[in-house]
Structure 1
Amino acid sequence: MSLSQKVGGNEHLITLGPRALKTGIAVAISLYICAYFGLEPAIFAGVAAIFTIQPSIYRTWRQMLDQFITNSLGAIIAMFALIFIGNNPVIIGLILIIVILVCVKFKMETNVISLTMVTVLAIMSAPGNEDWLFALNRFLIILIGMVTGFTINLLILPPKFNTNYYQKSKDAFNKLSLLLRTAISNELTEKTFRENWDSLQKDLQKLEELYKMFDEERSKMSKVNRLNVREIVVFKQMLKTLQQGEKVLELIEEHYFQSKSNEDEDKLFDHYLEQLIKCHEYYLLKYEGKIKEGDIHTVTIHEEELKLFLDSLVDSYKNDSEQKVRILAVGFSIFEYAFQLQRLNHLLENYLRKETVSS
């Protein structure tokens, strides 16, 4: 769902994602539930719902459990302080410090600690000498927000990582393709090269985080959110292949231009990098189902050619070991990139074959 708005004559696209939509729904429902049962102030339920919704079902569940534990503890400490000590600003500040230290001791995340602070403030903001029923009322309000947030995340547009993960993989590949294709020829300006490389590294970090969520969902929440294990294996290999491609880029930048390569070596490296990039692109298209079955123009990695490539580099190293040791390191990284691509193709074919049979 997208909204467009004009700012200063330029059109900017604002994307409303599923998580933002679910957060709004969870807050609204939390407020309605509190209003129905006459629980005030309902705003605390909305805050709890906001903190509870996470990118995955497992993380939302874990967040809710952690919040329940720390909020219960925070509520007990706050209630004790409210009844036996008081609630002047200094005492509230000291209680918050104590609760934060306890949460840190239990290695709770920032979001969990933040909501616990809200719970403590909600309980200790009593206008007069309130009893434990007041504290229980505030705790129930926050609990309603937590449970509502988890339920909404589970039932409405549950997180689907496949499309997002693959799209980010494609984005990362497009940047990697540009950088590798121009790495040897050194055609890009330094600014353009650095911007694209920094962006590629950020994309790879996001992919690692997404894969981690995949793995968590598979191992912890398989009964609630069923995931295709074979597809997860393919996604893991997609990430490893991209990471190895980025490693090639790093070694080219670090070693290749210090190796005093000649024109023939430049052409040789350019040729093999171009071939591997074509294979990488072909395998991604195969995953998308855009390649015809039995295509006679299948793009493959020829092991014999790679062996000849390495042999030529080794011969070059023998003739000038001091200068060519750097170029040999780059060559072996390219060989590893080819190996990861072959493995990606193998896993991809197994996955597609099983999908065809099951459908």
Structure 2
Amino acid sequence: MTLGPRVFKTGIAVTLSLYICYFLNLEPAVFAAVAALFTIQPSIYRSWRQLLDQVMTNTMGAAISLFSIYFIGDNPIIIGVLMMLVISLSLKMKMESTIPLTLVTVLAIMSTPDNENIDFILNRFLIILVGIGSALVVNLLIIPPNYKKNYLEKTRTVFQNMSLLLRTAVSNELTETSFQEQSKKLQDDIRKLEDLFKMFDEERTKLSKLKPVDVREIVLFKQMLKTLQQGEEILENIEEHYFQTGANEAEDYLFDTQIEQLIKYHEYLFLKYEGKIKQQENHHELKEIKESAAFFERALDIYKQNKDQKFRLLIIASSIVEYSFHLQRMDQLIDQYYKVRKV
């Protein structure tokens, strides 16, 4: 059983909302718990954004409900029409994430016989706000996320898996089942890493004043993600194209060796960013530029010898050279990042 921070915070937010309703004598408290469930977010910025959006759309939903009760009615058909209207307006306002809770607000107000009492309507609306506020407080105070640390740990994990797959892709050493399992895990982890980067970027750019070193770090982290995405693309190209070319041992060695060198370069860059490697200005970068150019020339020669059968090798070679390019870019960004840090 996985009990992550978000699961833990959801439980606390629900408990807090129920206790607040109990002490303020607000009934039924279950609506506050539902509001807390819908509002809890994985980041502080998204919590603030969600709070503002929820207040706006829930106020809109409450106003529409109030208008309907006094001037139109509250039979099931009207409630259904109001639901469609609220959904349409929320989409128009580009606040799709608030739709479920806004619909709960409309139902909470319109689904009881006493809904013509203004105090009753305000009571229900206040209960919803208690749930929203509870989720925000919990997100701010309980286990605040460290996105930089989480992101770097995840990039390392993704790289280790990608490294294994790339090193064994051409030699085809892994069993089909194992390769497919690891590939699926790599794809899922990269998607999660993309979400982590978005949250890291939001926290840095939306909630604080950026220093030059912060800007450099965001750009560098984005490039880290790009290199991993490019490594995944190599794997996809090898799986789809390589074994259909009837490659011989010399071609296997050429591609395997180039991939191995780039994996070592990638590992070197992680160590360089972590400050575990002595700075060697442009040494690895220039070496990789020359070796990548030489590799592609050899792949092009193979293609020219048998254009019909070896065309697919060029697709793979191009993705390998692009991976090299992104690694070189990452190398440059690490140097720039440390230069700004020293200032």
TM range (shorter): 0.7 to 0.9
Identity %: 57
The answer on whether the counterparts of 2:234 and 2:320 sit within 8 Å (CA) in structure 1 is yes
Query: How far did 1:91 drift?
Result: 4.0
Q: In the alignment, which of 284, 287, 299 is matched to residue 270 of structure 2?
A: 284
C-alpha separation in 1, matches of 2:279 and 2:215: 26
Once the two structures are superposed, the pairs formed by residues 213-292 of structure 1 within 5 Å of their partners are 213-223=199-209, 228-289=214-275, 291-292=276-277
SS in structure 2 of the partner of residue 187 of structure 1? coil
Once the two structures are superposed, the pairs formed by residues 121-160 of structure 1 within 5 Å of their partners are 121-128=107-114, 130-160=116-146
Judged with a 3 Å threshold, the aligned counterparts in structure 2 of structure 1 residues 100 and 27 are, in CA distance, closer, same or farther, namely: same
What is the aligned partner in structure 2 of residue 40 from structure 1?
27
Q: In the alignment, which of 75, 85, 88 is matched to residue 62 of structure 2?
A: 75
**1:224-270 Cα deviation digits (max 9, x unpaired):** 9xx93332222111111011111222222233223332211111111
Match status 1:314 vs 2:300: yes
Judged with a 3 Å threshold, the aligned counterparts in structure 2 of structure 1 residues 86 and 315 are, in CA distance, closer, same or farther, namely: closer
Judged with a 3 Å threshold, the aligned counterparts in structure 2 of structure 1 residues 90 and 144 are, in CA distance, closer, same or farther, namely: same
What is the aligned partner in structure 2 of residue 16 from structure 1?
3
TM-score (norm 1): 0.84
The answer on whether the counterparts of 2:272 and 2:278 sit within 8 Å (CA) in structure 1 is no
The answer on whether the counterparts of 1:48 and 1:146 sit within 8 Å (CA) in structure 2 is yes
Q: Which stretch shows the higher mean deviation, 51-60 or 251-260?
A: 251-260
C-alpha separation in 2, matches of 1:84 and 1:312: 79
Q: How many residues align?
A: 339
SS in structure 2 of the partner of residue 29 of structure 1? helix
Match status 1:118 vs 2:83: no
C-alpha separation in 2, matches of 1:317 and 1:159: 50
The answer on whether the counterparts of 1:67 and 1:112 sit within 8 Å (CA) in structure 2 is yes
C-alpha separation in 2, matches of 1:24 and 1:16: 11
C-alpha separation in 1, matches of 2:308 and 2:169: 23
What is the aligned partner in structure 1 of residue 40 from structure 2?
53
Query: How far did 1:90 drift?
Result: 4.3
Judged with a 3 Å threshold, the aligned counterparts in structure 2 of structure 1 residues 329 and 98 are, in CA distance, closer, same or farther, namely: closer
C-alpha separation in 2, matches of 1:245 and 1:256: 15
**1:69-102 Cα deviation digits (max 9, x unpaired):** 2111111122223334544444434433332333
Q: In the alignment, which of 41, 66, 74 is matched to residue 53 of structure 2?
A: 66
**1:126-165 Cα deviation digits (max 9, x unpaired):** 3436322211111112112222322332233333212222
Q: What amino acid does structure 2 have at the position aligned with 1:252?
A: I
C-alpha separation in 1, matches of 2:243 and 2:94: 47
Query: How far did 1:184 drift?
Result: 1.1
What is the aligned partner in structure 1 of residue 310 from structure 2?
324
TM-score (norm 2): 0.87
**1:26-58 Cα deviation digits (max 9, x unpaired):** 333333333333322222222222222211222
C-alpha separation in 2, matches of 1:253 and 1:292: 34
What is the aligned partner in structure 1 of residue 324 from structure 2?
338
C-alpha separation in 1, matches of 2:29 and 2:209: 33
C-alpha separation in 1, matches of 2:69 and 2:133: 26
Once the two structures are superposed, the pairs formed by residues 125-204 of structure 1 within 5 Å of their partners are 125-128=111-114, 130-204=116-190
Query: How far did 1:353 drift?
Result: 5.0
RMSD of Structure 2 on Structure 1 (CA): 2.7
SS in structure 1 of the partner of residue 32 of structure 2? helix
> Structure 1, unaligned stretches of length 5 or more?
1-13
Query: How far did 1:318 drift?
Result: 3.1
Q: What amino acid does structure 2 have at the position aligned with 1:101?
A: S
C-alpha separation in 2, matches of 1:76 and 1:129: 13
Q: In the alignment, which of 17, 36, 43 is matched to residue 30 of structure 1?
A: 17
Q: Which stretch shows the higher mean deviation, 150-159 or 339-348?
A: 150-159
What is the aligned partner in structure 2 of residue 3 from structure 1?
none
SS in structure 1 of the partner of residue 172 of structure 2? coil
C-alpha separation in 2, matches of 1:20 and 1:287: 32
SS in structure 2 of the partner of residue 228 of structure 1? helix
What is the aligned partner in structure 2 of residue 4 from structure 1?
none
C-alpha separation in 2, matches of 1:130 and 1:316: 81
Query: How far did 1:167 drift?
Result: 2.4
C-alpha separation in 2, matches of 1:174 and 1:204: 12
More helix by share: 2
C-alpha separation in 2, matches of 1:65 and 1:322: 59
